[in-house]
């Protein structure tokens, strides 16, 4: 349809005219929505430029469309980004579907409020139906004055559509914070116009022509709406794929989730990620999103705003104290203590105070200060710092809500909820109602994140690093979370659910048995003893390991002892820590202290380092310590103070060159001499770089022991970042290449009479125990809670059998084949065990 004779559009407002190209918004300026013009208003009542029907008026009152009898469609949009005002400052005078006269008042708005709280007051009048026009006014207009003359256009040729049965996409969840308002709707409609197929966007029972901006806006979508795209015609398939991808990506708006890959959404019934906390659960999807906070930039006076910020900080500190007091375990309490420390960070407070002094509000100042630091952390390309950024964002939000007086209400989640989120914050995780929440799934986060630690403390199964289309799952959808395998089953059948539930029950029974027998030695059926020690990062973990049957400490990650300190601990404090740990173990047990393994994924606040392009390949571990020998000297002195209280071993991380070992030994000898020690502690190295494994025969004469760090050995051997969420399933320590390097190391150590341990996560996997024992590993240093499980796994085996299976798997091609061979071996030689068969 098109106007049969020229139509004059009246000025909807008084004000100064601007070209669309001058509008500081690419979607409007590029005329993607339609051609028209812009008015910088001097009046506050928006009036109809033509007679017609209100084809859409946004609930927020910031935009309205009118369609006349001939199909001319005009969109009026007050201000830029005014959708964020959520209706504040606007009064709607008309309803959707209502007929209006040219010049009739449509919307009143408070110009001052809008100008102060939105990006701009510039108002757009766009001819979205596409008629060409001529301008009838100069620079300044009055409301009701003729403004544009529209020329008739020929009707567009009907789209050449080959109608057929419409194809439908799977339902998806709209990620845009403000729904499909004008700009994202225009981007979507524009993309839809690129296809010949007839395309519709569906929201519940409503449908909109996907090529019509106005129709899309009329759907009044909001974030979290479940939408579907349908298409009929030759390119329907391609249209659905492209448009679903566009929707998930936010149609040009930044959304919480990164770009999605769509194909698996349409076909897959399984989403995989990484296990953050073990276990399984069957329940319903509950999508979780934080509400947008409405923050006013200008303050009401520096003193008042400063007081508001201080009140918010004080209340947050008290809330965090309460969370620490209620914490289920020390890990949980420690996280909230670290959050409290962030609240006292002088740089953060300085930034906020500077903004208060510049007249900004408390909420604005605090948000700006925390966001700037979060961005800085995230931009460093370092997983561990990025995870601390999540902590800062979390505590920042907590304070912000307190300043704004927003109740941090516990979510109203339904029963049997499996939460799905881009990222959960530690605060959210700690406040979950575990009677209703059975587990959670996140796109972001990592197995080392604080959220993962909390999930384990709460006993909630959780997976992270799941593809972004998990955010498109409909609320209420029944899913099966198998966290042990890092899987979310989207269409589980009854048999799967029952199988998993039975396995879980068996797992519980078996775990209780292993716990009861934790004090028994880890001796195979044919009498071979394997030492089971603990990986620890605190005195508390040492004590816990002893109650769980641990036989010593195989890896003390010393860089974790003072993780949240801005200043280095004093030499005396360090010496005190090592001595206390050694005393807890006693003279009959091994204590393997690893010197600082800083760099890569482990920054240490009190050891500042320059940013590196490839931190994992940079100044990490022993390399950094040799660059700053004073650091190493001081640590050696502190460790040596504990000599005599336990069987002391010192271990160097990330060794790749023999010269590194020799230089470190010289420093150690000098420090021992200075302390008057007659005997050096044992000195060993981590085998976590392929060069060290391949040259183990060269290193062996110079060390007392090797301990294999399979986490790093895997990442460096397979050239796969150990924290890469998409590579998590392939960066598998069961890969025969890694196992062959372990074999090489053990052979070299044996030839020189040295012992070999494994302290990487592979040692904590019951499935790996036969192959490690079979290859000749003497000690397994495992994560504390798994000590009873690994001891029990050893007791079920016979060394002679293990040697056979170990040689077999070395000849396989891939990790999956090794895992399968070990499962088959296990099923054939050991009584059925749910731990291994899942
Ligand atoms: C390893 O790399 O396997 C290891 C034990 O060290 P970390 O995990 O601390 O790097
Ligand atoms: Mg390592």
pLDDT tens track for 675-703 = 999 889 999 999 999 999 999 999 999 99
Give 237-280 pLDDT, tens digit per residue: 889 988 998 898 888 777 654 333 333 333 368 898 888 888 88
Q: Could you give the CA distance from residue 527 to residue 787 in angstroms, rounded to a whole number?
A: 19
Give 507-546 pLDDT, tens digit per residue: 888 889 999 999 999 999 999 999 999 999 889 889 999 9
- The residue with greater pLDDT, 798 or 150, is 798
Residues 479 and 591 in one domain: no
Number of the ligand closest to the Cα of 723 = 1
Residues 548 and 602 in one domain: yes
- 298 CB-near residues (< 8 Å, 6+ apart): 116, 359, 360, 361, 364
- Atom 4 of ligand 1, nearest CA residue: 709
**Which residue bears the tokens 């199909």?**
71
Asked if residue 747 belongs to a domain, the reply is: yes
Query: Which CATH number do you get for residue 89?
Result: 2.70.70.10
77 is catalytic: no
15 Cβ closer than 6 Å to some ligand 1 atom: no
The model's pTM: 0.56
Which residues make beta-bridge pairs with 651? Answer: 594, 684
> Which span out of 38-42, 153-157, 610-614, 831-835 was modeled with the highest average pLDDT?
38-42
Cα within 13 Å of Cα(592), Cβ side: 32
Query: Which CATH number do you get for residue 780?
Result: 3.20.20.60
Q: Would you place residue 479 in the very low, low, confident or very high pLDDT band (cuts 50, 70, 90)?
A: very high
Q: Are strands 682-687 and 647-652 parallel, antiparallel or unpaired?
A: parallel
Which pLDDT score is estimated for 378? 66
Q: Would you place residue 837 in the very low, low, confident or very high pLDDT band (cuts 50, 70, 90)?
A: very low
Query: Which CATH number do you get for residue 223?
Result: 3.30.1340.10
Q: Which of 390-394, 454-458, 615-619, 722-726 has the lowest mean pLDDT?
A: 722-726
759 Cβ closer than 6 Å to some ligand 1 atom: yes
pLDDT surpassing 80 at residue 833: no
Q: What's the domain count of the chain?
A: 5
Mean per-residue pLDDT, 622-628:
95
Among 621, 686, 689, 738, the mutation site with the greatest number of ligand 1 atoms within 8 A of its Cβ is 686
SS3 818: helix
Q: Which atom of ligand 1 sits closest to the CA of residue 709?
A: 3
557 Cβ closer than 6 Å to some ligand 1 atom: yes
What is the full DSSP assignment across 349-375?
Answer: HHHHHHHHHTTB-HHHHHHHHHHHHHH
709 Cβ closer than 6 Å to some ligand 1 atom: yes
Which pLDDT score is estimated for 447? 61
450 is catalytic: yes
Q: Could you give the CA distance from residue 425 to residue 451 in angstroms, rounded to a whole number?
A: 7
707 Cβ closer than 6 Å to some ligand 1 atom: no
Give 382-401 pLDDT, tens digit per residue: 555 666 777 788 888 889 98
Q: Which atom of ligand 1 sits closest to the CA of residue 711?
A: 3
Which pLDDT score is estimated for 158? 38
What is the full DSSP assignment across 380-440?
Answer: T--HHHHHHHHHHHHHHHHHHHHHHT---PPP-PPSSEEEEES---HHHHHT--TTTEEEE
- 736 CB-near residues (< 8 Å, 6+ apart): 809, 810, 811, 812, 813, 814, 815, 818
Asked if residue 683 belongs to a domain, the reply is: yes
Residues 739 and 668 in one domain: yes
Element holding 572 (H helix, E strand): helix 571-585
Using an 8 Å Cβ cutoff, are 45 and 143 in contact? yes
- The residue with greater pLDDT, 49 or 336, is 49
Residues 419 and 398 in one domain: no
Q: Which of 197-201, 320-324, 527-531, 795-799 has the lowest mean pLDDT?
A: 320-324
Q: Could you give the CA distance from residue 19 to residue 240 in angstroms, rounded to a whole number?
A: 35
Asked if residue 296 belongs to a domain, the reply is: no
Q: Which of 288-302, 522-536, 721-735 has the lowest mean pLDDT?
A: 721-735
Residues 632 and 773 in one domain: yes
Q: Which atom of ligand 1 sits closest to the CA of residue 710?
A: 3
- The residue with greater pLDDT, 533 or 566, is 533
Residues 658 and 754 in one domain: yes
Give 446-459 pLDDT, tens digit per residue: 665 667 777 776 77
Residues 33 and 181 in one domain: no
Q: How far is CA 722 from CA 430, 715, 732, 744, in A?
A: 27, 5, 9, 22
Which pLDDT score is estimated for 433? 82
- The residue with greater pLDDT, 29 or 370, is 370
Give 652-662 pLDDT, tens digit per residue: 999 999 999 99
Q: Cα of 316 to ligand 1 centre, how many Å?
A: 35
Mean per-residue pLDDT, 219-228:
84
Using an 8 Å Cβ cutoff, are 441 and 420 in contact? yes
Q: Could you give the CA distance from residue 106 to residue 56 in angstroms, rounded to a whole number?
A: 12
Residues 106 and 174 in one domain: no
Residues 263 and 276 in one domain: no
Asked if residue 459 belongs to a domain, the reply is: yes
Which pLDDT score is estimated for 535? 92
Q: How far is CA 696 from the centre of its chain?
A: 38
Out of 404, 431, 461, pick the residue that ends a domain: 404
Q: How far is CA 203 from CA 135, 208, 430, 478, in A?
A: 38, 8, 34, 21
Mean per-residue pLDDT, 587-608:
87
> Which span out of 16-20, 269-273, 714-718 was modeled with the highest average pLDDT?
714-718
Residues 143 and 253 in one domain: no
How many C-beta atoms surround the C-beta of residue 518 within 10 A? 16
Q: Cα of 386 to ligand 2 centre, how many Å?
A: 19
Out of 404, 423, 455, pick the residue that ends a domain: 404
Number of the ligand closest to the Cα of 559 = 1
pLDDT surpassing 50 at residue 101: yes
710 Cβ closer than 6 Å to some ligand 1 atom: yes
Helix, strand, coil percentages (3-state) for the chain, rounded to 5, are: 40, 20, 40
- Atom 3 of ligand 1, nearest CA residue: 709
Q: Which atom of ligand 1 sits closest to the CA of residue 762?
A: 3
Which pLDDT score is estimated for 496? 82
Mean pLDDT of the chain: 86
Query: Which CATH number do you get for residue 423?
Result: 3.50.30.10
Would you put residue 499 in left (φ > 0), alpha (ψ -120 to 50) or beta?
Answer: alpha
Catalytic pick from 450, 489, 649, 826? Answer: 450
Number of the ligand closest to the Cα of 602 = 1
Residues 617 and 668 in one domain: yes
Mean per-residue pLDDT, 37-46:
93
Asked if residue 158 belongs to a domain, the reply is: no
pLDDT surpassing 50 at residue 166: yes
Q: Which residue segment(s) compose the domain that 59 sits in?
A: 7-150
Residues 418 and 392 in one domain: no
User: How much of the chain, in percent, has pLDDT values that exceed 70?
Assistant: 90
Which pLDDT score is estimated for 384? 55
Q: Which of 157-161, 322-326, 507-511, 548-552 has the lowest mean pLDDT?
A: 157-161
pLDDT surpassing 70 at residue 408: no
422 Cβ closer than 6 Å to some ligand 1 atom: no
482 Cβ closer than 6 Å to some ligand 1 atom: no
Out of 86, 115, 150, pick the residue that ends a domain: 150
Asked if residue 755 belongs to a domain, the reply is: yes
Q: Could you give the CA distance from residue 822 to residue 766 in angstroms, rounded to a whole number?
A: 10
pLDDT surpassing 50 at residue 172: yes
Asked if residue 532 belongs to a domain, the reply is: yes
Asked if residue 505 belongs to a domain, the reply is: no
Catalytic pick from 38, 464, 625, 759? Answer: 759
Which pLDDT score is estimated for 752? 97
């Amino acid at each position: 349809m098109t106007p049969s004779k020229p139509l004059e559009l009246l000025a909807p407002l008084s004000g100064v005219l601007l070209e669309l190209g001058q509008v500081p918004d690419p979607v409007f300026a590029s005329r993607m929505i339609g051609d028209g013009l812009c008015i910088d208003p001097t009046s506050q009542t928006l009036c109809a430029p033509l007679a017609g029907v209100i084809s859409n008026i946004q609930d927020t009152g910031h935009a309205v469309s009118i369609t006349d009898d001939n199909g001319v469609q005009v969109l009026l949009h007050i201000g830029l980004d005014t959708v964020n005002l959520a209706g504040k400052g606007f009064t709607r005078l008309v309803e959707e579907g209502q007929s209006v006269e040219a010049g009739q008042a449509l919307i009143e708005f408070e110009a001052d409020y809008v100008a102060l709280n939105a990006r701009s007051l510039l108002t757009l009048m766009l001819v979205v139906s596409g008629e060409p026009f001529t301008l009838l006014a100069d620079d300044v207009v009055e409301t009701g004055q003729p403004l544009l003359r529209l020329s008739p256009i020929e009707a567009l040729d009907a789209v050449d559509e080959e109608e057929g049965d419409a194809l439908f996409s799977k339902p998806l969840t709209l990620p845009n914070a403000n729904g499909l308002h004008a700009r994202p709707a225009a981007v979507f409609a524009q993309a839809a116009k690129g296809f010949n197929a007839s395309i519709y966007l569906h929201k519940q029972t409503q449908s909109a022509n996907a090529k019509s901006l106005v129709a899309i806006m009329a759907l009044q979508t909001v974030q979290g709406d479940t939408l579907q795209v349908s298409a009929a015609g030759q390119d329907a398939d391609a249209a659905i794929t492209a448009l679903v991808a566009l929707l998930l990506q936010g149609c040009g708006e930044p959304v919480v989730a990164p770009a999605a890959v769509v194909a698996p959404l349409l076909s897959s019934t399984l989403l995989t990620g990484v296990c953050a906390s073990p276990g399984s659960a069957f329940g319903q999807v509950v999508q979780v999103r934080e509400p947008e906070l409405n923050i006013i930039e200008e303050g009401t006076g520096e003193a008042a705003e400063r007081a508001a910020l201080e009140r918010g900080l004080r209340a947050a500190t008290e809330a965090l104290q309460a969370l620490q007091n209620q914490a289920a375990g020390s890990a949980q309490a420690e996280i909230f203590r670290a959050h409290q420390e962030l609240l006292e960070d002088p740089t953060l407070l300085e930034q906020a105070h500077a903004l208060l002094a510049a007249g900004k509000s408390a909420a604005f100042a605090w948000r700006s200060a925390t966001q700037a630091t979060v961005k800085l952390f995230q931009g460093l390309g370092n997983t561990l710092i990025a995870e601390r950024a999540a902590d800062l964002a979390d505590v920042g939000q907590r304070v912000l809500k307190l300043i704004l007086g927003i109740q941090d209400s516990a979510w109203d989640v339904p029963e049997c909820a499996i939460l799905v989120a881009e990222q959960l914050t530690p605060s959210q995780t700690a406040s979950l109602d575990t009677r209703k929440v059975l587990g959670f799934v996140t796109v972001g986060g990592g197995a080392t994140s604080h959220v993962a630690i909390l999930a384990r403390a709460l006993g909630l199964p959780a997976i992270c690093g799941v593809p972004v289309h998990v955010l498109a799952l409909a609320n209420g959808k029944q899913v099966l979370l198998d966290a042990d395998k890092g899987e979310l089953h989207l269409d589980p059948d009854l048999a799967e659910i029952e199988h998993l539930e039975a396995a879980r029950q068996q797992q519980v029974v078996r775990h209780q048995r292993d716990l009861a027998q934790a004090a028994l030695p880890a001796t195979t059926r044919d009498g071979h003893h394997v030492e089971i020690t603990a990986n620890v990062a605190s005195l508390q973990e040492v004590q816990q390991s002893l109650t769980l049957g641990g036989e010593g400490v195989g890896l003390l990650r010393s860089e974790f002892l003072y993780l949240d300190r801005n200043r280095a601990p004093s030499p005396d404090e360090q010496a005190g820590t090592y001595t206390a740990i050694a005393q807890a173990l006693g003279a009959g047990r091994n204590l393997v202290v690893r010197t600082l393994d800083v760099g890569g994924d482990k920054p240490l606040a009190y050891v500042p380092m320059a940013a590196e392009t490839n931190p994992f390949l940079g100044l990490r571990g022993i390399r950094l310590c040799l660059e700053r020998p004073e650091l190493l000297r001081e640590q050696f002195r502190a460790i040596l103070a504990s000599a005599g209280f336990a069987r002391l071993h010192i271990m160097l991380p990330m060794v790749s060159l023999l010269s590194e070992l020799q230089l470190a030994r010289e420093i150690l000898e000098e420090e021992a001499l200075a302390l008057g020690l007659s005997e050096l502690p044992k000195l060993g190295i981590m085998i976590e770089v392929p060069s060290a494994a391949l040259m183990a025969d060269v290193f062996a004469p110079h060390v007392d022991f090797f301990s294999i760090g399979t986490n790093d050995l895997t990442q460096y051997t397979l050239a796969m970042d150990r924290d890469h969420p998409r590579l998590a399933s392939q960066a598998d320590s069961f890969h025969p290449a890694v196992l062959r390097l372990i074999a090489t190391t053990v052979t070299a150590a044996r030839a020189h009479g040295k012992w070999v341990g494994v302290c990487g996560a592979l040692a904590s996997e019951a499935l790996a125990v036969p192959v490690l024992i079979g290859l000749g590993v003497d000690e397994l240093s495992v994560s504390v809670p798994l000590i009873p499980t690994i001891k029990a796994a050893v007791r079920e085996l016979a060394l002679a059998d293990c040697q056979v299976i170990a040689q077999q798997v070395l000849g396989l091609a891939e990790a999956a084949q090794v895992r399968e061979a070990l499962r088959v071996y296990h099923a054939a030689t050991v009584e059925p065990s749910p731990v291994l068969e899942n």
